[in-house]
């Protein structure tokens, strides 16, 4: 009996040592695995995540850039929702307005954050522009009237599905996890102009990129004209913002 017990103890010790050696070997292999620097730079640029997280993703997926990116985004989404829940009680008093117009359809979205510092963050600006674009794409307004509009609440915006199959809430949570501040979708408006009606957007401070129209103030101007939109149209937008009457250009509250 004693001999059998000793054999079992020795067997257990050997099994424990074997597992330890296996873990050490795995750790050594991972440590010796060389991450492709080019892939690391590309992944960092594509996702905006930290170097350490990008490196971990490439190590786990044998330098497969596409698989590493998918894994990173899935992890970030899960962590983003967790962080969004954790930070949800924080006040969001700063933010930006994003505007996107294609043809005779446009949308203006207000995204709030905690600090003015984040409003200058390029990733936040890109987020605001992306949400405005997705909001515009989802518009189902009548093209037969001179001008139609629809105001969207925070609850409606969060649940709005994008062309990728995600919701605006998913995109917001991802940004919260990446940037580290609480954010909220304050409000939005969708606008559509009928025959002969042209839509023009303007933001202040103005943005040099027409595809990335963001600012503290924003205007969508619906103008019926037979000719090409002139400098007068832009001056009208500037005048509206200068008088702080943005809500009368396209009302959020109706």
Lowest average pLDDT, out of 39-43, 47-51, 94-98, 128-132, goes to: 47-51
Residue 246 scores a pLDDT above 50: no
The Cα–Cα gap between 199 and 25 comes to 64
Are 109 and 214 contained in the same domain?
Answer: yes
Are 145 and 243 contained in the same domain?
Answer: yes
218: exposed, middle or buried (Cβ count in 10 Å: 0-12, 13-18, 19+): buried
Answer whether residue 2 is part of any domain.
Answer: no
Cis peptide before 205 (omega within 30 of 0): yes
Q: Look-up: residue for tokens 């786990």?
A: 60
C-alpha closest to that of 166 among 134, 129, 142, 213:
134
Are 80 and 122 contained in the same domain?
Answer: no
**The pLDDT value given to residue 196:** 81
% of the chain beyond a pLDDT of 70 = 78
Are 183 and 81 contained in the same domain?
Answer: no
Residue 134 scores a pLDDT above 70: yes
Are 191 and 134 contained in the same domain?
Answer: yes
Rounded mean pLDDT of the chain? 79
Concatenate the DSSP letters of all residues of 135-153 into one string. Answer: HHHT----SSSSEEEEEE-
Lowest average pLDDT, out of 21-35, 77-91, 180-194, goes to: 21-35
Are 69 and 104 contained in the same domain?
Answer: no
Quick one: CA dihedral 59, 60, 62, 65, positive or negative? negative
pLDDT per residue as tens digits for the range 34-49: 888 898 999 888 877 7
Q: Look-up: residue for tokens 């009368």?
A: 248
The Cα–Cα gap between 127 and 211 comes to 12
Q: Look-up: residue for tokens 């005779």?
A: 104
Question: Residue 62: which region, alpha, beta or left (left: phi > 0; alpha: psi -120 to 50)?
Answer: left
The Cα–Cα gap between 83 and 80 comes to 5
Cα angle: 62, vertex 65, 71; to 5 degrees:
85
pLDDT per residue as tens digits for the range 137-157: 988 877 777 788 889 999 999
**The pLDDT value given to residue 25:** 44
**The pLDDT value given to residue 237:** 73
Cα angle: 91, vertex 96, 98; to 5 degrees:
135
pLDDT per residue as tens digits for the range 183-237: 999 999 999 988 888 888 888 887 766 656 888 888 888 888 776 666 777 777 7
Are 78 and 178 contained in the same domain?
Answer: no
Answer whether residue 155 is part of any domain.
Answer: yes
**The pLDDT value given to residue 254:** 34
**Which of 2 and 65 is assigned the larger pLDDT?**
65
Supply the range of the domain harboring residue 158.
Answer: 94-249
Domain count, the chain: 2
Tell me the two tokens of residue 17.
Answer: 């040592």
Q: CATH no. for residue 199?
A: 3.30.479.20
Mean pLDDT of 101-108: 90
Answer whether residue 15 is part of any domain.
Answer: no
Are 243 and 181 contained in the same domain?
Answer: yes
Are 63 and 126 contained in the same domain?
Answer: no
């Amino acid at each position: 009996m004693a001999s059998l017990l000793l054999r079992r103890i020795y067997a257990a010790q050997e099994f424990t040592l074997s597992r330890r050696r296996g873990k050490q070997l795995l750790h050594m292999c991972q440590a010796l695995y060389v991450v492709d620097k080019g892939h690391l730079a590309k992944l960092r640029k594509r996702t905006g995540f930290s170097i350490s997280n990008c490196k971990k993703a490439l190590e786990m997926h044998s330098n497969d850039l596409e698989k590493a990116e998918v894994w990173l985004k899935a992890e970030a989404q899960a962590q983003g929702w967790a962080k969004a829940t954790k930070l949800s009680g924080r006040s969001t008093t700063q933010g930006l307005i994003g505007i996107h117009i294609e043809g005779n359809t446009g949308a203006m979205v207000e995204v709030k954050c905690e600090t003015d510092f984040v409003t200058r963050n390029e990733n936040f600006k890109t987020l605001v522009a992306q949400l405005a674009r997705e909001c515009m794409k989802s518009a189902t307004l009548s093209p037969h009237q001179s001008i139609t509009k629809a105001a969207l609440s925070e609850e409606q915006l969060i649940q709005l599905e994008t062309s990728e199959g995600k919701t605006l809430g998913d995109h917001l949570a991802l940004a919260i996890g990446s940037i580290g501040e609480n954010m909220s979708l304050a409000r939005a408006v969708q606008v559509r102009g009928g025959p002969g009606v042209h839509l023009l957007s303007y933001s202040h401070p103005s943005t040099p990129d027409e595809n990335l129209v963001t600012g503290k103030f924003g205007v969508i101007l619906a103008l019926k004209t037979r000719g090409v939109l002139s400098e007068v149209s832009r001056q009208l937008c500037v005048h509206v913002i200068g008088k702080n009457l943005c809500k009368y250009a396209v009302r959020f509250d109706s």
